[in-house]
Amino acid sequence: MGKARLFHSLFYGSILLGFALQPLMAGDHKKKPAPDRYIQNYERKLADLEKRMQDLEKSIKQANADFREQTERKQRELKELAEEYKQREARAQKAIKEFGEQQDSISAALKKYRIGLAAKQAAAAKKRREEAKKPAADAKRKIDSRKKPAPKAKVDPKNREAIRKKAEESRRALLKRFDTNRDGKVTKEESKAVLAQEAKQREEARKKIEEAKRKREAAKKKAAEEEKRAVEAKRAAASKQAAEAKRKRDEARKTPNEAARKKPTPKKAAPKKAAPNKPTSRKPDLDRLRANYLKAQKSDQSAKGLYEKAKRAYDEARGNKKTYKVDLERLEKNYERAKKNSYTAGRALVSAKRAYEYARRK
């Protein structure tokens, strides 16, 4: 009993203590002040400015990245141009060296020919002097009738004249080619200048030939494309005519059936036997397949047109040396994509046509 009283006293004491402390605890909770409207506006403006600064920093970073990319691309192009011009200079130096060797060989041959010509002329002069001395010896030999006169040496002046003319023509041709100042002499500088000019002319002629060849190839390609487009247009027109003829045949086939359905039935008709169940008409399936076939035709024509357009743009960009590498890669990707789409559309057209023809025959 003592324990029960103690429990009740403690229970009621705790309740009374709670009621006593409740007002004190209620006084501790204070109401928070309402936020100031100006502070909110300033904070909102600060957040907006911070966001703008972040956006500007992002744009600056993107601009710097674009600048670095463009600078690297320009440097690569400049490096490629420098390499190309270096190769051209090496080829020109090689050609000049070859022409110098040819000039040296020609000069050596000319010197050798002049020495030989001088020796021949000296021999011919000596021979003429000996021939001039022969009449006195002949007169002396005629005194002695017992001796037979010696036969004269055969001299062929025509061969000497032909050799002389040939040497003179060769010398004139050499002077005409290398003697630019027309002083009758060929110097090393004149030979180098003439050979360099001839090399330049040959290079220009080669470029003209390549340009003409490229134009011929472009004309051939264009003619082939036009012929291909004409064939495709003829094929489309033929398919359209076939579709129109089929539609007319279907309409002509419908007309008698509709006329038979519109005829009035007689009032007293004899009872007819029940007809067996006929299979359902295949016309909805045939119309659906025909619609699929026409749709595939349009898709194939559109895909082919896009493919030709992408191919033409890519070929023009490849032929233009001022096209950037990034644009060329983008045009190449467009060309490959259009080519793949054209192939897919062609396959779909073949499948739709096969299904439609099979349904018509069936």
- Residue ranges per structural domain of the chain: 42-135, 285-362
Per-residue pLDDT tens digits for 71-100: 999 999 999 999 998 898 898 888 898 888
CATH code for 285-362?
A: 1.10.287
Cα–Cα–Cα angle for 57, 61, 63, rounded to 5 degrees: 115
pTM above 0.85, yes or no: no
The three-point CA angle 236-237-243 to 5° equals 90
In this predicted structure, the answer to whether residue 275 has a pLDDT above a threshold of 60 is no
Residues 136-184 have pLDDT tens digits of 666 666 665 555 555 555 546 667 778 888 888 887 887 777 777 777 7
Q: Which residues contact 310 (CB under 8 A, 6 or more apart)?
A: 331, 334, 335, 337, 338, 339
3-state secondary structure of 187: coil
CA distances from 327 to 75, 208, 359 (A): 17, 28, 48
d(CA 202, CA 196): 10
Please answer whether residues 195 and 102 qualify as being in contact, where contact means their C-beta atoms are separated by less than 8 angstroms: yes
How many CB atoms lie under 10 A from the CB of residue 290? Answer: 19
**pLDDT band of 271, cuts 50, 70, 90:** very low
> What's the token pair of residue 318?
């490849």
